Amino acid sequence: MTAMSKEPKTTLKGRDAKTGEFTTVKEARSQPNTHVVERVPKPGYGDTGKKK
């Protein structure tokens, strides 16, 4: 039996709501009218892979 990792499988990223470009979380939180903070899956944990 293997131990489960305590690391989260997602990370916070800021995004410009108008253009869709990634920004810093600090910038997104300072400009809430035009930016959003999202949880983005780390590589290997997303659900956009090949379906079997």
pLDDT by residue (tens digit) across 6-46? 888 999 999 999 999 999 999 999 999 999 999 999 988 88
| Block residue for tokens 């131990």 | 3
pTM: 0.69
| Confidence at 47, pLDDT banded by 50, 70, 90 | confident
List own/partner pairs for 41-46 with CB under 8 A and 24 or more apart: 41/9, 41/10, 42/9, 42/10, 42/11, 45/9, 45/10
Residue carrying structure tokens 């869709």:
20
Q: Are 6 and 18 in contact (CB under 8 A)?
A: no
- The per-residue pLDDT for 2 is 63
Q: How confident is the model at residue 5 (pLDDT cuts 50, 70, 90)?
A: confident
